[in-house]
Structure 1
């Protein structure tokens, strides 16, 4: 539980992923939670089979992109720290996203109908800020480069599988 709390503090920009040392089991539990929560969110938007395939592709893309960045910067020792930090923060944002989807279901036809769109936009901006922060702490790049990498990561991780599913 203390490790979970330390990783959640990354979402408030108060911890450094370099100082956290997760066990492999903790990392894989985060990946599993990412897949399950992603399927829940996507299954509310599309067919459950399509949702499962899209989330599986998104997970593979995320693991590959982060692994490539680790190898390119020669920081292989940071593999579990970076991967766990990113997946943990994504899980936190995804959990809040599930809450926004529930709110959206109840807000239909009310004066609050557009609020979930605004909340979703805030979550995406917060997500990009968190990923930029994690990249800054792990890779020690300039903030502009970290923000650009976060946008690329987001675009490839979420946009790539989405576009592929639209083509199929």
Structure 2
């Protein structure tokens, strides 16, 4: 028994253009609207944002994925939007800035998870094996960014904890 999902048939050229156009729209739409999500959604270390013990405060990603070698090559979506938050480098160690940075890593992670979900659409007008290529694309483009956020968050939390201790000493 073969399960067919393809319900729309286009020429090869049209399908290729549609694939490229749709991915562009998906990335830009989720990036744009992700930037509009309420800040309160990203406060607190809960749900998908919680670090797991197996992540070993980010060290898992260094051991398994050698993240330090390639993280610097990832694009920063915060640069694409006028009110975006750039996460490529720490600009200051100001406590409020660090908290915002931490929250923005959560926002970025959510946006990248959400960008994977629409991949099912590509099975509607592509051959099944092209749909699988689209799945591979979605994972290859988004998982490195998700990994980077999950790697950075515990390291950033340590900096925040140190800064908080320094602030408490002053007060």
TM-score normalised per structure 1: 0.36
Higher RCO structure, 1 or 2 (CA under 8 Å, sep 6+): 2
Greater percentage in helix: 1
